Amino acid sequence: MTDTIDAPADAATYGVPQERRVVTAIPGPKSEELHRRRLAVVPPGVSSALPVYIAKANGAILVDVDGNQFIDLGAGIGVTTIGHTDAAVVAAATSQLQDVTHTLFTITPYEEYVRVAELLAEHTPGDFTKRTVLVNSGAEAVENGVKIARKFTGRYGVAVLEHAYHGRTNLTMAMNFKASPYSTGFGPFAGDVYRAPNSYPYHDGLSGAEAAARTIAYLEKTVGASDLACLVVEPIQGEGGFVVPAPGFLPALQEWCTENGIVFIADEIQSGMARTGAYFASEHFGLVPDMVLSAKGIAGGLPLAGVTGRAEIMDSAQPGGLGGTFGGNPVAAAAAIAVFEQIESASLLAEATRIEGVLTAGLLALQEKYDIIGEVRGIGAMVAIELVEAGTGATTKVPNAAAVNTIVAYAAQHGVLALTAGTYGNVLRFLPSLAISDELLRDALTVIDEAFASLEA
């Protein structure tokens, strides 16, 4: 596919033609002017991966103010999972805007909050009675999950895993593995957070049982099970580089937590809501967490997050101890209900599996051509490649962040938006919406192939 393509005759059907199109330099003149305005009023701490300013989006395509169309392989870091401006989500939010925009659920409640809680109880793993509190963001969900676990257990310790990412609030910064740029200079941080080894098969070579034994031994020695309120894990790590643990690792940790009265919390903020071909990635590992944290893809682009857990755990918080001014906003909740309905009516779980097939096959083919691709990994529409220095993939596996940055920059110039990840910045992650077509995926892979070839030119 060329960089400039005429719009198809039926483009109006899609809102935005589902194609890549580059018509100016990247960034274009209008984006550059907006960027000058932005630098005058927005601090540099709020950085952007690509300073192109988006005017419209639909499906898997972003359109900037200069008319360039990008194949979006990031979906707002997993937020627009069912597609940008999905018609059902837009209709639900629009209708709700005409009825009630805000009352504060803890003052005068409304049905939309209740319905989202019902849907989360139905679709999170486990057939026990559950309760849900709705909040605004992933980090807020993590904070509340930990708070509730501490209240329930009467303990303070919080265990997390290496390479984890949980947010930018004070507690979640303490829970992250990578300090820069998320927490550098922002301390002091919350205490009683303990970081244990993770299962990272590409690097440690351990079986799930061996990795779990190492993690458990570390926590028992450095903290003691009796002092831990919770263990918070991402079933598939997001910012950490889409690390998929070895089979058996997570169930062994869950069993240990259950035996020792530790609340097992699955942070499904990035991996949940149909992203992996299941409602929640925990299902791929046979996990039934005590608590599941949802956000990102739950409301189709509107701010919403949830903490869903066993009733006896969630009920431990006293009246007034949970909630917030905008938590479970009725417009965002209405959008979330539409997302659940779309996952079912459009068979989006199967779409995630379709995307995995196309992406994985294409990336494995690239791995045959380029020895700096050390590993292809992931599940569903959550796939990544880890890049290493040439000749080190079978031995030291030296991270190659420079190659990742070059590839992302090349892709952007040719109308493909891709994301980096990994503790060492050497992972290229693919997080497209479930609305993306095979044609767009293959076109994006062609650009990525060209980007790799440019490294050798």
- Please give the C-alpha separations between residue 271 and each of 138, 192, 228, in angstroms, as whole numbers: 12, 26, 25
- Report which of 271, 202, 259 is spatially closest to residue 233, judged by C-alpha positions: 271
Quick check: 7 pLDDT over 60?
no
Query: H or E segment at 256?
Result: helix 249-259
Q: Is 214 helix (H, G, I), strand (E, B) or coil?
A: helix
Quick check: 2 pLDDT over 70?
no
Quick check: 8 pLDDT over 50?
no
pLDDT of residue 335: 98
Extract long-range pairs of 212-221: CB within 8 Å, 24+ residues apart. Answer: 212/248, 212/249, 212/252, 212/253, 212/256, 213/252, 215/161, 215/249, 215/253, 216/252, 216/253, 216/256, 219/159, 219/194
Q: Is 347 helix (H, G, I), strand (E, B) or coil?
A: coil
Report the C-alpha gap between 203 and 395 in whole angstroms: 10
- Report which of 339, 334, 434 is spatially closest to residue 59, judged by C-alpha positions: 434
pLDDT of residue 151: 98
pLDDT of residue 337: 98
Quick check: 234 pLDDT over 60?
yes
Query: H or E segment at 149?
Result: helix 138-153
Residues 6+ apart with CB under 8 A from 81: 75, 273, 274, 275, 296, 297, 300, 339, 348, 381, 433, 434
- Please give the C-alpha separations between residue 239 and each of 24, 41, 413, 424, 434, in angstroms, as whole numbers: 31, 28, 24, 10, 20
Instruction: State pLDDT tens for residues 71-109.
Output: 999 999 999 999 999 999 999 999 999 999 999 999 999
Q: Which one is predicted more confidently, 11 or 216?
A: 216
Q: Averaged over 254-270, what is the pLDDT?
A: 98
Quick check: 139 pLDDT over 80?
yes
For residue 456, name the pLDDT band (cuts at 50, 70, 90). Answer: confident
Q: Which one is predicted more confidently, 296 or 179?
A: 296
pLDDT of residue 10: 36
Quick check: 5 pLDDT over 50?
no
Q: Averaged over 222-234, what is the pLDDT?
A: 97
Extract long-range pairs of 44-52: CB within 8 Å, 24+ residues apart. Answer: 49/408, 49/419, 49/420, 50/26, 50/412, 50/417, 51/27, 52/26, 52/27, 52/28, 52/412
pLDDT of residue 11: 39
Question: How large is the angle between the packed helices 438-456 and 348-369, nearest 10 degrees?
Answer: 20
Q: Is 396 helix (H, G, I), strand (E, B) or coil?
A: coil
- Ranking 140-149, 179-188, 284-293, 397-406 by mean pLDDT, the lowest is 179-188
pLDDT of residue 171: 95
Q: Averaged over 212-230, what is the pLDDT?
A: 97
Quick check: 402 pLDDT over 50?
yes
Q: What is the pTM of this model?
A: 0.95
Q: Averaged over 55-82, what is the pLDDT?
A: 97
Q: Averaged over 7-23, what is the pLDDT?
A: 68
Query: H or E segment at 63?
Result: strand 61-64
pLDDT of residue 1: 38
pLDDT of residue 179: 87
Phi and psi at residue 16, to the nearest 5°:
-135, 130
Q: Averaged over 406-426, what is the pLDDT?
A: 97
Instruction: State pLDDT tens for residues 337-392.
Output: 999 999 999 999 999 999 999 999 999 999 999 999 999 999 999 999 999 999 99
| 363-434-233 Cα angle (round to 5) | 75
Residues 6+ apart with CB under 8 A from 6: none
pLDDT of residue 180: 86
Strand 263-267 and strand 54-58: the pairing is unpaired
